[in-house]
Amino acid sequence: MFETEQNAIAAQIQQYCTENDIPAPQEFQWKPIPFSGGWGISTSFFQVAAQEARSGKKVVVPQRAQEIAQSVAKQLGTPRGFERVEAVNGYLNLYFAASDVSRRVVDSVLETGANFGRGVKKNERVMVEYAQPNTHHSFHIGHYRNAILGEALARMVEFAGYDTIRASYPGDIGLGVITVVWAYDKFYKGQEPQDIHVRGQWLLNLYVEATNLLTPKENETPEEIAQREVYEAERRDLYRRWDAGDEYVRNLWLETREWSLEELRDILHLMDIDIDVWFYESEVDEPSKAIVEELVEKGIADDERSQDGAVIVKIDEKLGLKKEKYRTNVILRNDGTSLYLTKDLALAKDKFEKYHVDRSLYVVDVRQSLHFQQAFKILELWGYEQAKKCYHLGYGFVSLPEGAMSARRGRVVLFKDVADEATRRVLEESRKKNPDMPEEQRQEVALQIGLGALAYAMLSVDNNKDIIFDINEALSFEGHTGPYIQNAHVRASSILRKAGMIPEEASFDYPMEAHEIELIETISRFPEVVQQAAEEYRPLVLATYAYDLAAAFHSFYHVVPVLQTKSETVRQARIRLIAAAKQTIANALRLLGIRSPEVM
């Protein structure tokens, strides 16, 4: 928020350096003054001093940095908007005139409202692909991490100023899908439950049971082996018929697929996710085969089918690399069917050509990073410049204290179960703490708080870290959690309700409390936090910020009176500050996909 001041001072420093034969810094790194109670900006002169040392001057770098800082401080005096300038340990610290700057920050937040922190429009279209669960399964907590991470990323990138498209890519075909269709058709046709989530779980059980029937076991009798082989043949036949477009199989597949999609849409709705473009794996299957032919013609792929092999791309060789990095991968099986990689090539082509995407983000777990590196390099070999702006956001996978989630072993934590449990726990808490709340409102708020806790638990861990899902930790409501932040918003709302109205304007020209200044300082950081989080593709940055902001608010709330303040001037300023804090908390939470309730 302080670019104007920073640039003006930077220019003065550069001029001073040039005039005094000191190497002028090319670019300045401005940082907040790290000491508590000190609100302002700082920069250091170590690099300048080190440059002098390198050019032959006999200087001790830290000492020289302090000398320069001192002389610069002297030269600057006290610039407009600041109340104090000091040189300490090689750093130049410029302390704001808190009252002036506070008013500017608060006015700016209240003027822009829900748009406070929004970045300037960048002329670039970004597609974020996330929410790619397989159909014919139920949605588990690992899918949830993917969805909330993707959504937070999309919101951040959009708010930072990019034209953003949300894409989902359900895996609606493959051996796993066919396995479920086979089991359904053979054993359970017409027995499906009606509730969409019960049905999702039921499909999952079907998959487990079918896989069990098809998996070789120890000490099988000849009869058992024969039975299993019959089943296996049936499954293969079903896949073949699907591939051939057999009407019966296709209808069966579409019907069962729709159950999963219904559940997926319901969950996305619950999460407040609105997907713009739905890609289905089954729909890129045919186009992807055509791409293989093109790649063979262009000499990018090698066709080894005549030697009973597959169609492969020797990526390292084509790139001229000597050491193995991207290796070699298959893009068409020897039976002519396509693979995951092939489909991703077709999908990327669509993204670039149909949706004119400049930058493409893939939110997929980290185990697939080689796959994406290969896909991006093949796209590059194929001639797509945008491939350089494809980025795989790999995140650590979610496992359970007992180990990896495994549908076959029945070791899966379903999102819907966790969401229900979250709501239940919040309701219990809420009845104790706020017994007078109308029951209808309580239900609605409980969902927001429960999901807030869950979302925050996922987003407050950096992307590349694995998460061992512990429900008690994830649904904690105290301390570094979503509800802690939501509670700050609720407390602010409560004060504003009692205040009645927000004054049109107010001056902060009074001796401000340290907690008051700290809160405003934290609010002022929001716009750059948004940019950082979006540039780094890291919701964690925003999650940490939201917590810092809430913590600053809670401390302020405890120490600084607002409505009880005697001075009407101070009261008005603080009411506006509360409104600004509330708005900024809401904006930050919104980017994390978390609701900001008025009461809790």
Partner RNA sequence: GCCCCCGUAGCUCAAUGGACAGAGCACCGGCCUUCUAAGCCGUAGGUUGUGCGUUCGAGUCGCACCGGGGGCGCCA
> Please, which of residues 349-388 interact with RNA by CB under 7 A?
366-371
Could you tell me the smallest distance in angstroms from the CB atom of residue 68 to RNA? Answer: 12
Name which position in 9, 22, 42, 180 contacts RNA (CB under 7 A): 42
Return left, alpha or beta for 160; rule: phi > 0 is left, psi -120 to 50 is alpha, else beta: alpha
Of 139, 239, 456, 547, the one binding RNA by CB under 7 A: 547
d(CA 585, CA 526): 10
Q: Which helix (H) or strand (E) holds 398?
A: strand 398-399
For RNA, the binding residue among 491, 576, 582, 595 (CB under 7 A) is: 491
Residues 193-222, interacting with RNA (CB under 7 A): none
Residue 501 contacts RNA per CB under 7 A: no
Print the binding letters for residues 126-165 with RNA: x by CB under 7 A, - otherwise.
Answer: --------x-------------------------------
531 is an interface residue for RNA by CB under 7 A: no
Q: Residue from 281, 412, 506, 512 that binds RNA (CB under 7 A)? A: 281
| Residue placing its CB nearer to RNA in the complex, 164 or 585 | 585
- Taking the mean position of all CA atoms in its chain, how far away is CA 345? 24
User: At 64, which amino acid appears?
Assistant: R
Candidates 171, 527, 539, 593; binder of RNA (CB under 7 A) is 171
**CA atoms of 186 and 180, how far apart (whole Å):** 10
By CB under 7 A, name the one of 339, 347, 573, 589 that touches RNA. 339
Among the candidate windows 118-126, 195-203, 375-383, 469-477, which touches RNA by CB under 7 A?
469-477
Q: Rounded to the nearest 5°, which phi and psi values hold at 130?
A: -155, -175
Q: For the stretch 100-113, what's the b/e string if a residue is b when 16 or more beta carbons lie within 10 angstroms of its beta carbon? A: bbbbbbbebbbeee
Answer for which of 220, 258, 324, 402 binds RNA (CB under 7 A) is: 324
* Token pair for 193: 């439950």
- Token reading at 514: 């340290």
Measured distance CA(464)–CA(456) in Å, rounded: 16
Alpha-helix runs per DSSP H in 160-246: 175-183, 196-214, 222-244
Selected from 225, 248, 309, 406, the binder of RNA by CB under 7 A is: 309
Q: How far is the CB of 441 from RNA (least distance, A)?
A: 10
Q: How near is the Cβ of 215 to RNA at its closest, in Å?
A: 15
Q: CB 572 → RNA: shortest distance, Å?
A: 13
In the complex, the smallest distance separating the C-beta of residue 236 from RNA, rounded to whole angstroms, is: 12
The full DSSP string for 74-125 is: HHH-S-TTEEEEEEETTEEEEEE-HHHHHHHHHHHHHHHGGGTTPPPPPS-E
Footprint of RNA on residues 402-461 (CB under 7 A)?
Answer: 404, 426, 429-430, 433-434, 445, 449, 460-461
88 binds RNA (CB under 7 A): yes
